[in-house]
Structure 1
Amino acid sequence: MNGDQAVQAEPAVLRAAFDVDDGGQSKGESTLGWEAVHAFESAHEIVLPEPYRSFVAEIADGSFSGPPAYGLLPVAELPDDWGDDGQDRVLSKPFPLTTAWMWEEDPDRAEDADEILEQVYDHGSTVLGTDGCAMNWHLVVAGPHRGHVWLITDVGAAPFGEQFGFTTGEPGFAGWVRHWAANKPWYDAA
């Protein structure tokens, strides 16, 4: 398999959701290109999960249209409300969670909560964008949940995908985009 070829099962869905035409013209950012994707991956000692990897290389590196509410961020950027310059982020260290965690409701983990929270925000994920009010969507790039999308807020973190019980959407970047494009609420499971 050639890692520098777009995953063909998803491009039409991704282009439509982010308002990108077949010529690669977008209302958002331009494509990153494979050379820049390779440089980003090398600098951070990771390989971005597909189809997000091909999306930023060949379709758009960020977009004002599509999910989340304030648009998809370019791969190397953080939301304006991030709070620091992101210097402590280490994408190659594993994302620490595999199940939802509402830290405000978990007194049993109070002792190590600060250390785990630092890892949740700074290790193993790129920030896809924000729905505002410190509700940031992350794509896990390292660790057991590599390829999964997570919503991380000021009170907790939860994975996106029907197997986690919060939504009817498929897991991963393409499932997250399809769910949004179908105009469904993020967490629509009964």
Structure 2
Amino acid sequence: MEHWDCDEVRRRIRELGSRDPMRSHFGAEAHGYELRLALPEARIRAFEETHGVGLPGEYRSFLAEVGDGPAGPGYGLLPLAEPRADAGEDWAVDDEWERDRLPGRLAGAFPLTGPLPGRIGSSAPELTRGTLMVADEGCGIHVRLILDGPRRGEIWRLDPDWGGFVPVSAGFRDWYAGWLRRP
């Protein structure tokens, strides 16, 4: 398992929050530079068993050592297995988040072998099989973690209206660390 420096991650999140007291940076109002508690190993394992998947190591260790979101890129990291308590009716990704948790969806094979640029519209649900939505960037744009196959562990951005479905990072750690390093 690839371990995280939890104290450093939390220090950096506090630093980002102190530089943005009005929560004016994109997404900060939603995640508030806050982290939920790390998930117990038993809950992570139960999620994996329920969905027939093994979470990629970088993401799995983040959940177990650092926290189950939300502080992170876009509007923040989405929770692994339980909806956000503050989501309410206006939570834009609620349907997509719930679709990801349907039986068999996460264990399905990721259908792409390479980027799919451009408008993909209504075919987005078929293209996301075997991926887990880890963040919401608004306007229907979601960040997804590939769970299986040769692209396992990569982070991809899905913008069904204009940007297609394209890789943005080789792994969860690099993607998340990029957010932590931003000015």
TM superposition score normalised by structure 2: 0.71
CA contact (8 A) 1:14 1:177 kept: no
Partner residue in 2 for 1:74: 79
1:100 correspondence with 2:115: yes
Q: Return the letter of the residue paired with 1:81.
A: A
Distance of aligned partners of 1:96 and 1:14 in 2 relative to their CA distance in 1, 3 Å threshold: farther
2:132 equivalent to 1:117: no
Question: What amino acid does structure 2 have at the position aligned with 1:146?
Answer: R
Aligned AA (1:100): P
Does the 8 A contact of 1:91 with 1:142 survive in 2? Answer: no
Shift of 1:102: 2.4
* Cα contact 1:136–1:151 (8 A) shared by 2: yes
Query: 1:159: which partner in 2?
Result: 167
Q: Which residue of 1 aligns with 2:47?
A: 40
CA distance in 2, matches of 1:134, 1:36: 29
Contact 1:136 1:153 in 2 (8 A): yes
Which of 18, 37, 62 is the matching residue for 2:69? 62
Q: 1:107-145: CA deviations, max 9, x gaps? A: xxxxxx86x633223x11111111111111111112221
SS of structure 2 residue aligned to 1:43: helix
Deviations for 1:7-63, whole angstroms, at most 9, x for unmatched residues? 23654554445559xxxxx82321111000010000011111011101112210112
Structure 1 residue 52 corresponds to structure 2 residue 79: no
Hey, what's the Cα distance between the residues in 1 that align with 2:182 and 2:50? 36
1:88 Cα deviation from its structure 2 partner = 6.8
Task: State the Cα distance separating 1:104 from its structure 2 match.
Answer: 2.5
What residue number does 1:188 align with?
none
The letter for the 1-side match of 2:119 is E
1:8 corresponds to which of 3, 8, 23: 3
Aligned-pair RMSD on alpha carbons? 2.9
Match of 1:131 in 2: 137
Give the letter for the 1:175 counterpart.
Answer: D
The whole-number CA distance in structure 2 between the counterparts of 1:8 and 1:82 is 29
- Note closer, same or farther for the CA distance 1:49–1:13 as it changes in structure 2 (3 Å cut): farther
Taking structure 1 as the reference length, the TM-score comes to 0.68
Structure 1 position 176 matched with structure 2 position 181 = no
Q: Aligned in 2, Cα 1:83/1:55: closer, same or farther, shift over 3 Å?
A: closer
Question: 2:45 is matched by which residue type in structure 1?
Answer: H
CA contact (8 A) 1:138 1:151 kept: yes
CA 37–158 in structure 1, closer or farther in 2 if over 3 Å, else same: same
More strand per residue: 1 or 2?
A: 2
Decide whether aligned partners of structure 1 residues 50 and 178 sit closer, same or farther in structure 2, where only a CA change above 3 A counts.
Answer: same
* Structure 2: distance between partners of 1:97 and 1:10: 33
Distance apart, 1:154 and its partner CA = 1.9
Partners in 2 of 1:102 and 1:77 — Cα distance?
Answer: 32
Alpha-carbon separation, structure 2, partners of 1:104 and 1:147: 24
Query: Any stretches of 5+ residues in structure 2 without a counterpart?
Result: 16-32
